[in-house]
Structure 1
């Protein structure tokens, strides 16, 4: 099974590009599953979303914990017959934690959860991230310049074996970069 991860800051185009990747493999006649976190259909996903709309350290801790449990429960789901599994928001949720803890938790999670050469971190500046989120109805706790700068810095320090894609261009330009990596990996 091809296991693809699409992660990055809010506004980086994770969902958009994950759907384009899904379409790429569907057009080849493959069975594809796309999972996004926090999930809409799990208790952990719902609790994550609720905590993200709150404020304070306790809600940050709850959001991170519930997010991790949501991802772990998604991994444990059976995907028999699926040729391509795409996870949107997977390991970089740890970048919202303080750096020493983020590194430790990332190491622990990658020791037990699946990883692959198909892991993409969609990168953009925190300023552009904020600009892309201007029209959202509800602001989550990390959607401010200071937190986005910290999260991006931590995430980039963790993505050593990832495919880092600059998403500052058009959707078509970014997808072309992703497709080049997929062509090479699928080759």
Structure 2
């Protein structure tokens, strides 16, 4: 049976670091791992989402969210039923709906989480906005529209209404501490499935 893992969280929460660490664990077991870090640069939806994220304004906000959703759906369609894939890991997934206007985001989340695959290995890295901003500042990348203290605080609050069925992991801890918590849950679910 395919293992489906999602690592999500605010920008700067350490998603990609955790994805690499969990992928290494499964690769050492000899499993074929595919990583999808959204928005992905290998397709037009991901590229358009990323381009919109680097701009400002409500229309770009909406474009970024819609194209992100199409990018994630594309990844599901392409890899979820691929028999050559043993472990499918997504960095960012359905929590992007929290960026939609309030009210609409709740409805869309319920629909999307019903239609798209979910698992017991969905993790939200709950980093404080201050730590998130510190980490973002240490990267050598262009700043996205949500990468400011006000947006980070707002989106962290918004995320709480969507993560009720997620494994919420404190994101201010070191990458190694976070990884151990994620690996423990993943290995426990492997025992239940296997």
* TM-score when normalising by structure 1: 0.96
Q: Tell me the distance in 1 between the aligned counterparts of 2:151 and 2:100.
A: 11
User: For this pair of structures, how many residues does the alignment match?
Assistant: 187
Matched position secondary structure for 2:188:
helix
**Runs of at least 5 residues in structure 1 that lack an aligned partner in the other structure:** none
CA RMSD in angstroms comes to 1.0
Matched position secondary structure for 1:86:
strand
Q: Which stretch shifts more, 133-142 or 11-20?
A: 133-142
Deviation per residue, 1:26-67 (Å, 9 max, x gap): 001111111110001000000001100111101001001100
Structure 1 position 17 matched with structure 2 position 21: no
Q: Tell me the distance in 2 between the aligned counterparts of 1:167 and 1:126.
A: 10
Q: Which stretch shifts more, 175-184 or 24-33?
A: 175-184
**Superposition deviation, residue 183 in structure 1:** 2.3
**Superposition deviation, residue 169 in structure 1:** 1.5
Q: How does 1:110-149 map to 2 (within 5 A)?
A: 110-136=113-139, 137-149=141-153
Q: Tell me the distance in 1 between the aligned counterparts of 2:151 and 2:101.
A: 11
In structure 2, the residue matched to 1:109 is 112
Q: Which of the numbers 174, 180, 183 marks the counterpart of 1:170?
A: 174
Q: Which stretch shifts more, 18-27 or 150-159?
A: 150-159
Q: Tell me the distance in 2 between the aligned counterparts of 1:170 and 1:118.
A: 20
**Superposition deviation, residue 135 in structure 1:** 2.8
In structure 2, the residue matched to 1:81 is 84
Structure 1 position 90 matched with structure 2 position 74: no
Contact 2:32 2:84 in 1 (8 A): yes
In structure 2, the residue matched to 1:71 is 72
**Superposition deviation, residue 172 in structure 1:** 1.0
In structure 2, the residue matched to 1:185 is 189
Contact 2:128 2:171 in 1 (8 A): no
* TM-score when normalising by structure 2: 0.93
